[in-house]
Structure 1
């Protein structure tokens, strides 16, 4: 029989952190597969915060919403600077 006098512990598994660059690639791929212009759709999402700019195909919408829009913009800008200015 279990002891009920002691505090019981349990851990809720943490969702793995999504790398921003990986998320962008997966969302981009899903948008292309559905026939959307991925650049326009991602910009629309970043500017407005409206998740309906992103397709739900392959879980892209829920994936992009796990990352702050500021982090997405930061990743895109860093990538641009690394490729074009340095």
Structure 2
């Protein structure tokens, strides 16, 4: 049985972290691996969608000449 879809980036990221920990532990039963991977793919897609939405907003602000900080803001780190 798969978990309900997370509703926020934080929830989706937490779900990915739990799945990674379970898979890395080596304790996941083989029958559980496929559902875990499907859940991980859905959570990853949700995280990526939200990150891209933020990037689009920021790109729009910068394109409009807003007073945005010109430092590198690509701080997406997989090991958060």
- TM-score normalised according to structure 1 size: 0.34
The structure with the larger Rg is: 1
Higher RCO, Cα 8 Å, sep 6+: 2
